Chain A
Amino acid sequence: MDSQTLDNLNQMLDHESDIRERIRDQVNEFDKKTRTVVGILSKIHSTHSESMPSLIETAQPVIHSFSETITTLASIIPPNQFWRWKDMWCNSLRTAVFAAVLSEYLTKGILLSLESTSAILGMQEEWHDRVHLAVEDYLHGLITMVNELSRLAVNAVILGDFEEPLKISAFVKEVFLGFSMLNLKNDTLRRRFDSLKYDMKKIEEVVYDVSLRKLVVKQPPVPAKPTS
Protein backbone atom coordinates (compact mmCIF):
# COMPACT_ATOMS: atom_id res chain seq x y z
CA MET A 1 0.00 0.00 0.00
CA ASP A 2 1.24 3.47 -0.71
CA SER A 3 1.58 5.94 2.11
CA GLN A 4 -1.47 7.94 0.99
CA THR A 5 -3.74 4.88 1.33
CA LEU A 6 -2.19 3.99 4.65
CA ASP A 7 -2.74 7.49 5.96
CA ASN A 8 -6.36 7.47 4.80
CA LEU A 9 -7.10 4.18 6.51
CA ASN A 10 -5.32 5.31 9.61
CA GLN A 11 -7.27 8.54 9.66
CA MET A 12 -10.57 6.68 9.44
CA LEU A 13 -9.53 4.36 12.24
CA ASP A 14 -8.41 7.30 14.37
CA HIS A 15 -11.78 8.91 13.83
CA GLU A 16 -13.47 5.73 15.06
CA SER A 17 -11.36 5.55 18.20
CA ASP A 18 -12.11 9.20 18.84
CA ILE A 19 -15.84 8.39 18.79
CA ARG A 20 -15.22 5.43 21.06
CA GLU A 21 -13.35 7.62 23.56
CA ARG A 22 -16.11 10.21 23.63
CA ILE A 23 -18.77 7.55 24.14
CA ARG A 24 -16.72 6.03 26.93
CA ASP A 25 -16.66 9.36 28.75
CA GLN A 26 -20.43 9.59 28.55
CA VAL A 27 -20.85 6.00 29.68
CA ASN A 28 -18.76 6.84 32.75
CA GLU A 29 -21.12 9.72 33.51
CA PHE A 30 -24.10 7.48 32.88
CA ASP A 31 -22.66 4.88 35.22
CA LYS A 32 -22.17 7.36 38.03
CA LYS A 33 -25.81 8.35 37.75
CA THR A 34 -27.14 4.80 37.62
CA ARG A 35 -25.05 3.86 40.66
CA THR A 36 -26.45 6.82 42.56
CA VAL A 37 -30.02 5.87 41.73
CA VAL A 38 -29.47 2.18 42.53
CA GLY A 39 -28.07 3.32 45.88
CA ILE A 40 -31.21 5.31 46.61
CA LEU A 41 -33.56 2.55 45.43
CA SER A 42 -31.82 -0.09 47.54
CA LYS A 43 -33.36 1.65 50.54
CA ILE A 44 -36.82 0.41 49.52
CA HIS A 45 -36.05 -2.76 51.46
CA SER A 46 -35.92 -0.84 54.72
CA THR A 47 -38.70 1.66 53.96
CA HIS A 48 -42.28 1.37 55.18
CA SER A 49 -44.87 1.64 52.43
CA GLU A 50 -46.18 4.98 53.72
CA SER A 51 -42.75 6.62 53.30
CA MET A 52 -42.12 4.91 49.94
CA PRO A 53 -43.39 7.86 47.83
CA SER A 54 -41.00 10.30 49.47
CA LEU A 55 -38.07 7.88 48.97
CA ILE A 56 -38.95 7.47 45.29
CA GLU A 57 -39.25 11.27 45.06
CA THR A 58 -35.54 11.57 45.95
CA ALA A 59 -34.65 9.25 43.05
CA GLN A 60 -36.58 11.31 40.48
CA PRO A 61 -33.98 14.06 39.86
CA VAL A 62 -31.36 11.41 39.06
CA ILE A 63 -33.73 9.52 36.76
CA HIS A 64 -34.53 12.73 34.93
CA SER A 65 -30.85 13.57 34.60
CA PHE A 66 -30.31 10.43 32.47
CA SER A 67 -31.75 12.29 29.50
CA GLU A 68 -28.80 14.74 29.45
CA THR A 69 -26.32 11.91 29.05
CA ILE A 70 -28.50 10.21 26.45
CA THR A 71 -28.82 13.45 24.48
CA THR A 72 -25.05 13.85 24.47
CA LEU A 73 -24.64 10.24 23.32
CA ALA A 74 -27.03 10.88 20.45
CA SER A 75 -24.93 13.83 19.37
CA ILE A 76 -21.77 11.68 19.25
CA ILE A 77 -23.12 8.63 17.39
CA PRO A 78 -22.91 8.96 13.57
CA PRO A 79 -26.19 8.42 11.66
CA ASN A 80 -27.34 4.79 11.31
CA GLN A 81 -24.73 3.53 13.74
CA PHE A 82 -26.88 2.85 16.81
CA TRP A 83 -26.21 -0.90 16.77
CA ARG A 84 -22.52 -0.40 16.24
CA TRP A 85 -21.95 1.29 19.57
CA LYS A 86 -24.90 0.36 21.75
CA ASP A 87 -23.06 -2.44 23.56
CA MET A 88 -20.91 0.22 25.18
CA TRP A 89 -23.76 1.71 27.17
CA CYS A 90 -26.42 -1.01 27.26
CA ASN A 91 -25.57 -2.05 30.84
CA SER A 92 -26.05 1.50 32.09
CA LEU A 93 -29.20 1.85 30.01
CA ARG A 94 -30.69 -1.35 31.42
CA THR A 95 -30.06 -0.11 34.94
CA ALA A 96 -31.71 3.19 34.02
CA VAL A 97 -34.76 1.28 32.72
CA PHE A 98 -34.81 -0.72 35.93
CA ALA A 99 -34.82 2.48 38.02
CA ALA A 100 -37.65 3.98 35.97
CA VAL A 101 -39.92 0.91 35.95
CA LEU A 102 -39.34 0.13 39.62
CA SER A 103 -40.16 3.71 40.64
CA GLU A 104 -43.34 3.59 38.57
CA TYR A 105 -44.46 0.35 40.13
CA LEU A 106 -43.73 1.50 43.67
CA THR A 107 -45.61 4.78 43.23
CA LYS A 108 -48.47 3.81 40.92
CA GLY A 109 -48.50 0.02 40.96
CA ILE A 110 -48.42 -0.21 37.19
CA LEU A 111 -46.01 -1.36 34.51
CA LEU A 112 -44.30 1.49 32.73
CA SER A 113 -44.48 0.79 29.00
CA LEU A 114 -41.48 0.84 26.68
CA GLU A 115 -42.69 4.08 25.09
CA SER A 116 -43.16 5.81 28.44
CA THR A 117 -39.76 4.56 29.62
CA SER A 118 -38.16 5.95 26.44
CA ALA A 119 -39.88 9.26 27.09
CA ILE A 120 -38.67 9.45 30.70
CA LEU A 121 -35.13 8.69 29.54
CA GLY A 122 -35.40 11.55 27.06
CA MET A 123 -35.16 9.46 23.89
CA GLN A 124 -36.31 11.32 20.81
CA GLU A 125 -37.80 9.85 17.68
CA GLU A 126 -35.50 11.76 15.33
CA TRP A 127 -32.45 10.02 16.77
CA HIS A 128 -33.91 6.58 16.32
CA ASP A 129 -30.96 5.49 14.14
CA ARG A 130 -28.47 6.75 16.72
CA VAL A 131 -29.95 6.14 20.18
CA HIS A 132 -33.17 4.42 21.16
CA LEU A 133 -34.44 2.01 23.75
CA ALA A 134 -34.24 -1.46 22.19
CA VAL A 135 -36.83 -4.07 23.21
CA GLU A 136 -34.08 -6.28 24.55
CA ASP A 137 -32.73 -3.60 26.89
CA TYR A 138 -36.20 -2.76 28.16
CA LEU A 139 -36.86 -6.44 28.91
CA HIS A 140 -33.54 -6.75 30.76
CA GLY A 141 -34.61 -3.79 32.91
CA LEU A 142 -37.93 -5.51 33.65
CA ILE A 143 -36.20 -8.70 34.76
CA THR A 144 -33.97 -6.73 37.14
CA MET A 145 -37.12 -5.15 38.56
CA VAL A 146 -38.70 -8.58 39.17
CA ASN A 147 -35.48 -9.78 40.84
CA GLU A 148 -35.69 -6.78 43.14
CA LEU A 149 -39.40 -7.21 43.87
CA SER A 150 -38.89 -10.79 45.04
CA ARG A 151 -36.51 -9.44 47.68
CA LEU A 152 -38.95 -6.68 48.52
CA ALA A 153 -41.70 -9.29 49.16
CA VAL A 154 -39.52 -10.83 51.88
CA ASN A 155 -38.33 -7.53 53.31
CA ALA A 156 -41.81 -6.01 53.42
CA VAL A 157 -42.82 -8.88 55.71
CA ILE A 158 -39.80 -8.17 57.91
CA LEU A 159 -41.08 -4.61 58.24
CA GLY A 160 -44.52 -5.92 59.18
CA ASP A 161 -46.20 -5.16 55.84
CA PHE A 162 -48.07 -8.35 54.98
CA GLU A 163 -50.04 -6.95 52.07
CA GLU A 164 -47.17 -5.91 49.83
CA PRO A 165 -46.25 -9.53 48.90
CA LEU A 166 -49.79 -10.06 47.56
CA LYS A 167 -49.60 -6.95 45.40
CA ILE A 168 -46.14 -7.91 44.16
CA SER A 169 -47.31 -11.44 43.42
CA ALA A 170 -50.18 -10.24 41.22
CA PHE A 171 -47.97 -7.79 39.37
CA VAL A 172 -45.05 -10.14 38.81
CA LYS A 173 -47.37 -12.88 37.51
CA GLU A 174 -48.60 -10.53 34.80
CA VAL A 175 -45.10 -9.63 33.79
CA PHE A 176 -44.09 -13.30 33.82
CA LEU A 177 -47.04 -14.20 31.58
CA GLY A 178 -45.86 -11.56 29.16
CA PHE A 179 -42.36 -13.02 29.09
CA SER A 180 -43.78 -16.51 28.51
CA MET A 181 -45.21 -15.28 25.20
CA LEU A 182 -41.77 -14.54 23.79
CA ASN A 183 -39.78 -16.98 21.65
CA LEU A 184 -36.43 -16.54 23.27
CA LYS A 185 -33.22 -17.91 21.85
CA ASN A 186 -30.34 -19.16 23.90
CA ASP A 187 -28.97 -15.76 24.81
CA THR A 188 -28.55 -13.68 27.96
CA LEU A 189 -32.19 -12.63 27.89
CA ARG A 190 -33.22 -16.29 27.89
CA ARG A 191 -30.92 -17.11 30.79
CA ARG A 192 -32.20 -14.19 32.80
CA PHE A 193 -35.81 -15.13 31.96
CA ASP A 194 -35.07 -18.60 33.33
CA SER A 195 -34.09 -16.97 36.62
CA LEU A 196 -37.56 -15.42 36.91
CA LYS A 197 -39.13 -18.67 38.02
CA TYR A 198 -37.03 -18.63 41.20
CA ASP A 199 -38.27 -15.12 41.92
CA MET A 200 -41.84 -16.31 41.34
CA LYS A 201 -41.28 -19.25 43.68
CA LYS A 202 -39.84 -17.02 46.38
CA ILE A 203 -42.77 -14.59 46.16
CA GLU A 204 -45.30 -17.44 46.17
CA GLU A 205 -43.73 -18.87 49.33
CA VAL A 206 -44.08 -15.53 51.07
CA VAL A 207 -47.71 -15.26 49.94
CA TYR A 208 -48.32 -18.79 51.17
CA ASP A 209 -46.76 -18.04 54.56
CA VAL A 210 -48.68 -14.83 55.19
CA SER A 211 -52.01 -16.23 53.93
CA LEU A 212 -51.79 -19.47 55.88
CA ARG A 213 -51.04 -17.63 59.10
CA LYS A 214 -53.84 -15.18 58.40
CA LEU A 215 -51.41 -12.29 58.68
CA VAL A 216 -53.27 -10.30 56.07
CA VAL A 217 -55.88 -8.69 58.24
CA LYS A 218 -57.44 -6.44 55.69
CA GLN A 219 -59.17 -7.64 52.57
CA PRO A 220 -56.43 -8.28 49.99
CA PRO A 221 -56.37 -5.19 47.81
CA VAL A 222 -57.60 -5.38 44.26
CA PRO A 223 -54.53 -6.28 42.17
CA ALA A 224 -53.11 -3.15 40.73
CA LYS A 225 -54.26 -2.51 37.21
CA PRO A 226 -51.10 -2.53 35.16
CA THR A 227 -51.51 -0.10 32.34
CA SER A 228 -49.11 2.11 30.58
Chain B
Amino acid sequence: MSSSIHDQFVLFRDSLDDYHDRRERLIKASRDITNISKKTIFLLHRLALEAQDAPARASAAKAGLNKLREVQKMYAGMKDELVGDNFWRYQRQVSPGLQEYIEALSFAHYLEHGNLISYDQVQATLCGADGIAYFPLTISDYLLGISDLTGELMRFAISGFGSPGGRSRALETCYLVRNCKSDFERFTPHVWDLHKKQAVTAQSLSKIEDAVYTAVVRTSEFDLPPEMLDDLVNETVFTYNREGKNFERGNDDSEDFSHSYYH
Protein backbone atom coordinates (compact mmCIF):
# COMPACT_ATOMS: atom_id res chain seq x y z
CA MET B 1 0.00 0.00 0.00
CA SER B 2 1.41 3.37 -0.90
CA SER B 3 2.58 5.12 2.22
CA SER B 4 0.44 8.21 1.87
CA ILE B 5 -2.79 6.23 1.58
CA HIS B 6 -1.66 4.13 4.53
CA ASP B 7 -0.86 7.20 6.63
CA GLN B 8 -4.19 8.76 5.82
CA PHE B 9 -6.13 5.68 6.85
CA VAL B 10 -4.16 5.49 10.10
CA LEU B 11 -5.45 8.97 10.89
CA PHE B 12 -8.99 7.94 9.89
CA ARG B 13 -8.74 4.92 12.15
CA ASP B 14 -7.69 7.04 15.11
CA SER B 15 -10.44 9.52 14.49
CA LEU B 16 -13.13 6.82 14.11
CA ASP B 17 -11.87 4.92 17.18
CA ASP B 18 -11.96 8.09 19.22
CA TYR B 19 -15.51 8.76 18.08
CA HIS B 20 -16.76 5.23 18.82
CA ASP B 21 -15.04 5.06 22.23
CA ARG B 22 -16.35 8.41 23.33
CA ARG B 23 -19.79 7.48 22.09
CA GLU B 24 -19.74 4.25 24.14
CA ARG B 25 -18.58 6.09 27.25
CA LEU B 26 -21.36 8.64 26.92
CA ILE B 27 -23.99 5.96 26.33
CA LYS B 28 -22.87 4.21 29.53
CA ALA B 29 -22.87 7.44 31.50
CA SER B 30 -26.29 8.30 30.13
CA ARG B 31 -27.59 4.90 31.22
CA ASP B 32 -26.23 5.40 34.74
CA ILE B 33 -27.83 8.81 34.88
CA THR B 34 -31.17 7.35 33.78
CA ASN B 35 -30.83 4.76 36.51
CA ILE B 36 -30.13 7.23 39.31
CA SER B 37 -32.89 9.52 38.08
CA LYS B 38 -35.44 6.70 38.06
CA LYS B 39 -34.45 5.72 41.60
CA THR B 40 -34.80 9.34 42.65
CA ILE B 41 -38.30 9.44 41.23
CA PHE B 42 -39.27 6.32 43.21
CA LEU B 43 -37.71 7.81 46.33
CA LEU B 44 -39.68 11.02 45.84
CA HIS B 45 -42.93 9.06 45.41
CA ARG B 46 -42.29 7.09 48.61
CA LEU B 47 -41.44 10.15 50.65
CA ALA B 48 -44.21 12.29 49.16
CA LEU B 49 -46.79 9.64 50.00
CA GLU B 50 -45.81 9.80 53.66
CA ALA B 51 -45.54 13.58 53.71
CA GLN B 52 -48.71 15.11 55.08
CA ASP B 53 -47.96 18.81 54.80
CA ALA B 54 -45.99 21.26 52.74
CA PRO B 55 -42.83 21.31 54.95
CA ALA B 56 -42.70 17.51 54.90
CA ARG B 57 -43.01 17.54 51.12
CA ALA B 58 -40.26 20.14 50.92
CA SER B 59 -37.96 17.90 52.92
CA ALA B 60 -38.87 14.98 50.65
CA ALA B 61 -37.85 17.19 47.73
CA LYS B 62 -34.56 17.97 49.50
CA ALA B 63 -33.79 14.26 49.81
CA GLY B 64 -34.46 13.83 46.10
CA LEU B 65 -32.37 16.84 45.12
CA ASN B 66 -29.56 15.47 47.26
CA LYS B 67 -29.58 12.24 45.30
CA LEU B 68 -29.58 14.16 42.04
CA ARG B 69 -26.25 15.74 43.05
CA GLU B 70 -24.70 12.45 41.96
CA VAL B 71 -26.07 13.08 38.48
CA GLN B 72 -24.81 16.65 38.48
CA LYS B 73 -21.36 15.37 39.43
CA MET B 74 -21.48 12.94 36.51
CA TYR B 75 -22.37 15.77 34.13
CA ALA B 76 -19.48 17.79 35.52
CA GLY B 77 -17.24 14.83 34.68
CA MET B 78 -18.66 14.58 31.16
CA LYS B 79 -18.24 18.23 30.26
CA ASP B 80 -14.79 17.72 28.70
CA GLU B 81 -16.20 15.10 26.35
CA LEU B 82 -18.92 17.49 25.26
CA VAL B 83 -16.92 20.65 24.79
CA GLY B 84 -17.63 22.93 21.79
CA ASP B 85 -19.19 21.27 18.76
CA ASN B 86 -18.80 17.83 20.37
CA PHE B 87 -21.99 18.39 22.34
CA TRP B 88 -24.03 18.27 19.17
CA ARG B 89 -22.12 15.30 17.86
CA TYR B 90 -23.12 13.23 20.90
CA GLN B 91 -26.43 14.89 21.68
CA ARG B 92 -28.40 11.78 20.79
CA GLN B 93 -26.37 9.73 23.27
CA VAL B 94 -26.70 12.30 26.06
CA SER B 95 -30.34 13.20 25.59
CA PRO B 96 -32.15 10.12 27.09
CA GLY B 97 -30.36 10.42 30.44
CA LEU B 98 -30.77 14.17 30.43
CA GLN B 99 -34.55 13.91 29.94
CA GLU B 100 -34.84 11.43 32.79
CA TYR B 101 -32.80 13.75 35.00
CA ILE B 102 -35.05 16.68 34.11
CA GLU B 103 -38.08 14.56 34.95
CA ALA B 104 -36.69 13.74 38.42
CA LEU B 105 -35.49 17.29 38.98
CA SER B 106 -38.82 18.82 37.98
CA PHE B 107 -40.70 16.39 40.25
CA ALA B 108 -38.57 17.39 43.24
CA HIS B 109 -39.06 21.04 42.27
CA TYR B 110 -42.82 20.53 42.12
CA LEU B 111 -42.95 18.93 45.57
CA GLU B 112 -41.04 21.87 47.02
CA HIS B 113 -42.61 24.78 45.15
CA GLY B 114 -45.82 23.45 43.65
CA ASN B 115 -44.97 24.73 40.16
CA LEU B 116 -42.97 23.89 37.05
CA ILE B 117 -39.22 24.30 37.02
CA SER B 118 -38.15 26.78 34.35
CA TYR B 119 -35.70 26.24 31.50
CA ASP B 120 -33.19 28.58 33.15
CA GLN B 121 -33.49 26.81 36.49
CA VAL B 122 -32.71 23.46 34.85
CA GLN B 123 -29.73 24.92 33.00
CA ALA B 124 -28.52 26.43 36.30
CA THR B 125 -28.24 22.93 37.83
CA LEU B 126 -25.90 21.98 34.97
CA CYS B 127 -23.32 24.69 35.60
CA GLY B 128 -19.99 24.55 37.35
CA ALA B 129 -19.12 26.72 40.36
CA ASP B 130 -17.88 29.32 37.85
CA GLY B 131 -21.41 29.61 36.44
CA ILE B 132 -20.36 28.26 33.05
CA ALA B 133 -22.76 25.67 31.65
CA TYR B 134 -21.33 22.17 31.10
CA PHE B 135 -23.19 22.13 27.80
CA PRO B 136 -26.18 23.95 26.34
CA LEU B 137 -29.55 22.60 27.46
CA THR B 138 -31.74 22.05 24.42
CA ILE B 139 -35.31 23.21 24.51
CA SER B 140 -36.43 19.87 23.22
CA ASP B 141 -34.79 17.97 26.12
CA TYR B 142 -36.35 20.44 28.54
CA LEU B 143 -39.84 20.10 27.06
CA LEU B 144 -39.64 16.32 26.72
CA GLY B 145 -38.40 15.95 30.30
CA ILE B 146 -41.21 18.14 31.63
CA SER B 147 -43.66 16.23 29.48
CA ASP B 148 -42.63 13.04 31.33
CA LEU B 149 -43.27 14.79 34.62
CA THR B 150 -47.02 14.76 33.92
CA GLY B 151 -47.01 10.95 34.27
CA GLU B 152 -45.32 11.25 37.67
CA LEU B 153 -47.82 13.89 38.76
CA MET B 154 -50.64 11.55 37.81
CA ARG B 155 -49.10 8.76 39.94
CA PHE B 156 -48.58 11.23 42.76
CA ALA B 157 -52.20 12.44 42.56
CA ILE B 158 -53.80 9.00 42.36
CA SER B 159 -51.69 7.18 44.95
CA GLY B 160 -52.00 10.05 47.43
CA PHE B 161 -55.70 10.36 46.73
CA GLY B 162 -56.85 8.61 49.88
CA SER B 163 -54.52 10.36 52.26
CA PRO B 164 -55.48 13.61 54.03
CA GLY B 165 -55.53 16.53 51.62
CA GLY B 166 -55.12 14.10 48.72
CA ARG B 167 -58.27 15.29 47.00
CA SER B 168 -57.29 18.92 46.92
CA ARG B 169 -53.75 17.99 45.81
CA ALA B 170 -55.23 15.93 43.01
CA LEU B 171 -57.14 19.01 41.91
CA GLU B 172 -53.93 21.10 41.95
CA THR B 173 -52.05 18.57 39.83
CA CYS B 174 -55.04 18.38 37.55
CA TYR B 175 -54.73 22.11 36.78
CA LEU B 176 -50.98 21.89 36.35
CA VAL B 177 -51.08 18.91 33.99
CA ARG B 178 -53.92 20.47 32.03
CA ASN B 179 -51.90 23.66 31.58
CA CYS B 180 -48.85 21.67 30.51
CA LYS B 181 -50.87 19.89 27.90
CA SER B 182 -52.34 23.05 26.44
CA ASP B 183 -49.07 25.04 26.67
CA PHE B 184 -47.05 22.33 24.94
CA GLU B 185 -49.45 21.96 22.06
CA ARG B 186 -47.88 24.85 20.15
CA PHE B 187 -44.41 23.31 20.48
CA THR B 188 -45.29 19.96 18.92
CA PRO B 189 -44.40 20.95 15.33
CA HIS B 190 -40.93 22.01 16.50
CA VAL B 191 -39.98 19.19 18.83
CA TRP B 192 -39.44 15.68 17.57
CA ASP B 193 -41.68 13.12 19.32
CA LEU B 194 -43.42 15.66 21.52
CA HIS B 195 -46.76 14.70 19.96
CA LYS B 196 -46.36 11.15 21.34
CA LYS B 197 -45.68 12.53 24.79
CA GLN B 198 -48.72 14.77 24.46
CA ALA B 199 -50.85 11.67 23.90
CA VAL B 200 -49.47 10.15 27.12
CA THR B 201 -50.09 13.43 28.95
CA ALA B 202 -53.69 13.34 27.72
CA GLN B 203 -54.13 9.86 29.21
CA SER B 204 -52.63 10.92 32.54
CA LEU B 205 -54.81 13.99 32.56
CA SER B 206 -58.01 12.05 32.05
CA LYS B 207 -57.05 9.67 34.90
CA ILE B 208 -56.59 12.64 37.24
CA GLU B 209 -59.82 14.22 36.02
CA ASP B 210 -61.74 11.01 36.72
CA ALA B 211 -60.32 10.89 40.23
CA VAL B 212 -61.12 14.54 40.91
CA TYR B 213 -64.61 14.01 39.54
CA THR B 214 -65.16 11.22 42.06
CA ALA B 215 -63.92 13.47 44.83
CA VAL B 216 -66.27 16.29 43.87
CA VAL B 217 -69.32 14.06 43.53
CA ARG B 218 -68.76 12.32 46.87
CA THR B 219 -67.95 15.51 48.75
CA SER B 220 -71.14 17.09 47.52
CA GLU B 221 -73.16 14.33 49.18
CA PHE B 222 -71.96 15.41 52.62
CA ASP B 223 -72.13 18.94 53.80
CA LEU B 224 -68.73 18.84 55.49
CA PRO B 225 -65.35 20.40 54.69
CA PRO B 226 -63.00 18.01 52.88
CA GLU B 227 -60.55 17.70 55.81
CA MET B 228 -63.37 16.47 57.98
CA LEU B 229 -64.28 13.86 55.42
CA ASP B 230 -60.65 12.74 55.34
CA ASP B 231 -60.72 12.33 59.09
CA LEU B 232 -63.96 10.39 58.95
CA VAL B 233 -62.49 7.97 56.48
CA ASN B 234 -59.25 7.75 58.43
CA GLU B 235 -61.00 6.99 61.64
CA THR B 236 -62.78 4.05 60.06
CA VAL B 237 -59.55 2.79 58.56
CA PHE B 238 -57.74 3.24 61.85
CA THR B 239 -60.39 1.50 63.94
CA TYR B 240 -60.41 -1.36 61.50
CA ASN B 241 -56.64 -1.69 61.66
CA ARG B 242 -56.57 -1.53 65.45
CA GLU B 243 -59.15 -4.25 65.74
CA GLY B 244 -57.19 -6.33 63.30
CA LYS B 245 -54.04 -5.81 65.37
CA ASN B 246 -55.84 -6.68 68.60
CA PHE B 247 -57.02 -9.82 67.04
CA GLU B 248 -53.49 -10.77 66.12
CA ARG B 249 -51.34 -9.57 68.93
CA GLY B 250 -53.70 -9.37 71.87
CA ASN B 251 -54.35 -6.09 73.61
CA ASP B 252 -51.96 -3.27 73.14
CA ASP B 253 -52.67 0.15 74.43
CA SER B 254 -51.57 2.39 71.62
CA GLU B 255 -53.74 5.44 71.93
CA ASP B 256 -51.98 7.73 69.53
CA PHE B 257 -55.08 8.42 67.47
CA SER B 258 -56.88 10.93 69.59
CA HIS B 259 -58.89 13.40 67.57
CA SER B 260 -62.25 13.02 66.00
CA TYR B 261 -64.86 15.57 65.12
CA TYR B 262 -67.48 13.44 66.83
CA HIS B 263 -66.09 13.61 70.35
Binding site for B on A (CB under 8 A): 1, 5-6, 8-10, 12-14, 16-17, 80-84, 111, 113-114, 129, 135-136, 139, 174-175, 177-179, 181-185, 225-228
Contact = CB atoms under 8 A, between A and B. Distances in A.
Interface residues of B, number: 32
B190 interface: yes
Interface of B: 1-2, 4-6, 8-10, 12-13, 15-17, 20, 84-89, 91, 116, 118-119, 139, 143, 179, 183, 186-187, 190-191
Contact of A174 (B5, B15, B143, B187): B5
Given A5-B118, A9-B139, A12-B139, A227 B16 contact: no
Contacts, number: 87
Main secondary structure of the interface of A (DSSP, over half): helix
Contact of B13 (A12, A174, A181): A181
Contact of B2 (A13, A84, A227): A227
B87 A226 contact: no
Given A5-B119, A181-B10, A84 B88 contact: yes
Nearest to B8: A113
Given A16-B190, A80-B85, A182-B12, A174 B1 contact: yes
B183 A6 contact: yes
Contacts of A8: 119
A129 B85 contact: yes
Contacts of B12: 114, 135, 139, 178, 182
Contacts of B9: 178-179, 181-182
A225 B187 contact: no
A17 B4 CA distance: 43
A182 B16 CA distance: 8
Contact of A129 (B10, B16, B84, B139): B84
Nearest to A175: B5
13 contacts: A1-B118, A1-B179, A5-B118, A12-B139, A16-B190, A17-B190, A111-B5, A114-B8, A174-B2, A181-B6, A181-B9, A181-B13, A183-B16
